[in-house]
Structure 1
Amino acid sequence: MTVVAVFGSTGAQGGSVARALLKNGFKVRALTRNPDSESAKALKNQGAEIVKCDDADPKESIEKALKGSDSVFCVTNFWAYFHKELEYGINIANAALSAGVKHFVFSGLAPCNKISGGKYNVPHFDLKYKIEEHLRELSKNNPSFVTSFVYVPFYMQNFKTYFAPKRTVDEKTQDVTYVLGLPSDPKGLPLDMGDVDDIGSIVAVIMKEPSKYSGKVIPYSGDALHGDKIAEIMSKATGKKVVFNFIQPKEYAQFGFPGAEEMAEMFSFYNEFGAFNKLDKTEASKMAKITNLEEFLRKSKFQLE
């Protein structure tokens, strides 16, 4: 039985991957900084082996945690470590090679700075691409160390958290409207979005055929829509009036919350180049069922209060 070590196994991406691999007959070694969390306990009940391991651990500790694993799925967490993400990602890659791992699947993102010729700087994208470049170099110099890559789009789950429509009430009529405010330019490219839970099924297919997906990038998108269409679908799903409000990225950058400037840069990149630039988005849908926005809203019981 193939043993797969999964980084971030109690998070959104890693959790989806761990559950999908278990369903597909893999032995999962779920790596987590908190083995006593409810999410870790749930994975253990589903048959996963729980191992304490964090991105920031020394190379020797990570290598020990990976020993005996055939494959690795790794997603690094910029928002936990910021610019240390690159150092930690490279350290994980090196530890995996030293531990004898044969297949490394990395959750990356498009190189915004490179694609835009320096126009846009989005560290949580660009640092992941530098980790991808390092993994590719390791694979080139060590042919038995196969690397594959999956790119996720804007999470549909964000519509329930960071980008949830805001309730407004007309003072005169008392009519209630929900405003979806996004820096997604109606004159730019539509916003690629996806259910983060879909990544698990895609990675499970990649893990089954390392040689087929060696060196390949698999991006996925459940829908690519402009703001007005997103609002229309939300209105239909909830029975509430949802309208779209385009927030200029420069204005959004001034909102003042942590990460606002970076989010503004990310949306500027999306508006001009899309989430994946010129990569083929169609292959993922041949590998697994990809959820569209209407399906996501229905299955997640999306509501507006």
Structure 2
Amino acid sequence: MTIDTTANPHLVVIYGATGSQGGSLVRSLIRNPNFRVRAITRNPSSQSAQQLSQLGVDVVQADGWKKEQITAACQGAWAAFVNTNSEDPIWHNGSGVTEFDLGRTIIDGIIAAGSVRHLVYSSAASTSAYSKGRVRAQAAEMKSQIERYALDSQGFETVCPIHPGFYMELFTIKELAPLFGGFPFMPDAEGFLTLRTPQWGADGPMPVPWVAIREDFGDIVHGVLLDPHRYHATAVPVVSDPRSYPEVTEIFQSVTGQKARYECLNSCEEFGKGIPEMEDLRRLFQFGQLTNAKYFGDADPSAALSAELKARAVEARGGGAADQQLLSFPKWVAGNLMPAI
């Protein structure tokens, strides 16, 4: 693998560039001439990787399990963004390897490159710590451990843990609709598109920290990279528009004109019952009930910081005032869930 390692203080390497988070960051950074982007992928010939190449992105091959490949891919980079895939089947196939093992290898490989000064890691609050050991969501724990490893390594000037909220995009995946009671694709026997989840919060429905990954995530991380020292060791919640589940159904009905309603499940265990892959989501709902929705731990769950970061990034890449606004849930529904005519 041959990589141009010409010194450039604004070269950002992205691990997970073909995913939803990494792709959003790529699309934001390439519009700012002060940054160059290098995308790491295991398969440079994939369609998604080729699309990045067509955008002018430097696409390189590297396997996250091979430290020396990560080191080679990060040569000359100024900053790195890393998102490890918590949904990879390998964590559940009995191999014994964990997401932390992968994250540690990637972090070690980046440090060994010797040039990367700033790391932004897509992380999560420790469910075990904030629930005093009463609940453990595996993905959140692994990400929290990787975050701590990166901070303790002292291999970077700054480490910023980014905590993405709940993806609005979940509602565009038809295969997931049955898990949510059929919402927003499958009407029930009474003709309603019913959203059915456990309660989020302790005493009543609390706002869920929704984020529009495609439209907002990349700009928010871009905003962090404009001033990384300001966010060292500081959890940055990534939120577009916090709304409770009842509000989501009301917005959907108002925007689309389709009949919708919300039903609260009596127990977290009823959500995706019998599906092992849903265990982490059941534990997240349990965590939300035990902590009264402290999804980001002690960090502010509002969209205030995300709004500030997005505005700064859009301004830096030459966007206007209208583009600086976070995407609201009503506008997201209008752009993504309107029924076909």
Query: Normalising by the residue count of structure 1, what TM-score does the alignment of the two structures yield?
Result: 0.90
In structure 1, what is the Cα distance between the partners aligned to 2:218 and 2:134?
33
Aligned-pair CA distance for 1:241: 0.4
Does residue 285 of the first structure (1) align with residue 307 of the second (2)? yes
Aligned-pair CA distance for 1:5: 0.7
Aligned equivalent of 1:257: 275
In structure 1, what is the Cα distance between the partners aligned to 2:222 and 2:246?
34
Match of 1:111 among 106, 126, 133: 126
Aligned equivalent of 1:226: 244
Aligned equivalent of 2:313: none
Aligned-pair CA distance for 1:169: 5.1
Aligned equivalent of 2:332: 296
In structure 2, what is the Cα distance between the partners aligned to 1:229 and 1:304?
23
Match of 1:122 among 117, 126, 137: 137
Query: 5 Å matches for 1:26-45?
Result: 26-45=35-54
Asked if structure 2 preserves the Cα contact closer than 8 Å seen for 1:220 and 1:285, the reply is no
Which residue type is aligned with residue 278 of structure 1? D
Asked if structure 1 preserves the Cα contact closer than 8 Å seen for 2:79 and 2:119, the reply is yes
Match of 1:17 among 2, 17, 25: 25
Asked if structure 2 preserves the Cα contact closer than 8 Å seen for 1:149 and 1:217, the reply is yes
Identity %: 27
Does residue 190 of the first structure (1) align with residue 213 of the second (2)? no
Aligned equivalent of 2:234: 216
Query: 5 Å matches for 1:68-83?
Result: 68-80=76-88, 81-82=90-91
Aligned equivalent of 1:87: 101
Does residue 236 of the first structure (1) align with residue 254 of the second (2)? yes
Q: How many residues align?
A: 296
Asked if structure 2 preserves the Cα contact closer than 8 Å seen for 1:138 and 1:145, the reply is no
Asked if structure 2 preserves the Cα contact closer than 8 Å seen for 1:165 and 1:180, the reply is yes
In structure 2, what is the Cα distance between the partners aligned to 1:298 and 1:168?
19
Higher strand share: 1
When residues 184 and 191 of structure 1 are mapped into structure 2, their CA distance, relative to the original with a 3 A threshold, is: farther
In structure 2, what is the Cα distance between the partners aligned to 1:273 and 1:185?
6
Which residue type is aligned with residue 298 of structure 1? A
More displaced 10-residue stretch of structure 1: 3-12 or 294-303: 294-303
SS of match in other structure, 1:42: helix
Asked if structure 1 preserves the Cα contact closer than 8 Å seen for 2:63 and 2:69, the reply is no
SS of match in other structure, 1:261: helix
In structure 2, what is the Cα distance between the partners aligned to 1:277 and 1:237?
32
When residues 6 and 302 of structure 1 are mapped into structure 2, their CA distance, relative to the original with a 3 A threshold, is: farther
In structure 2, what is the Cα distance between the partners aligned to 1:223 and 1:269?
21
Query: 5 Å matches for 1:155-194?
Result: 155-161=167-173, 162=176, 163=180, 164-168=183-187, 170=189, 176-185=191-200, 187-194=204-211
Aligned-pair CA distance for 1:222: 2.0
Aligned equivalent of 1:205: 223
SS of match in other structure, 2:16: coil
Which residue type is aligned with residue 250 of structure 1? E
Aligned-pair CA distance for 1:304: 7.8
Asked if structure 2 preserves the Cα contact closer than 8 Å seen for 1:194 and 1:221, the reply is yes
Aligned equivalent of 2:165: 153
Which residue type is aligned with residue 190 of structure 1? P
Cα shift readout 1:135-189 (whole Å, capped 9, x = no counterpart): 11123xx4x532112110110001122244352354xxxx621111222347243
In structure 2, what is the Cα distance between the partners aligned to 1:117 and 1:169?
39
Aligned equivalent of 2:110: 96
Match of 2:149 among 120, 134, 137: 134
SS of match in other structure, 1:13: helix
When residues 169 and 189 of structure 1 are mapped into structure 2, their CA distance, relative to the original with a 3 A threshold, is: closer
Does residue 245 of the first structure (1) align with residue 253 of the second (2)? no
Aligned-pair CA distance for 1:301: 4.5
SS of match in other structure, 2:192: strand
Which residue type is aligned with residue 156 of structure 1? M
Cα shift readout 1:120-140 (whole Å, capped 9, x = no counterpart): 11011111000010111123x
SS of match in other structure, 1:203: helix
RMSD: 2.0
When residues 263 and 301 of structure 1 are mapped into structure 2, their CA distance, relative to the original with a 3 A threshold, is: closer
Residue segments in structure 2 that go unaligned for 5+ positions in a row: 1-7, 92-96, 311-324
Aligned-pair CA distance for 1:53: 1.8
In structure 2, what is the Cα distance between the partners aligned to 1:304 and 1:233?
18
SS of match in other structure, 2:39: strand
In structure 2, what is the Cα distance between the partners aligned to 1:18 and 1:85?
23
More displaced 10-residue stretch of structure 1: 291-300 or 271-280: 271-280
Aligned-pair CA distance for 1:196: 1.2
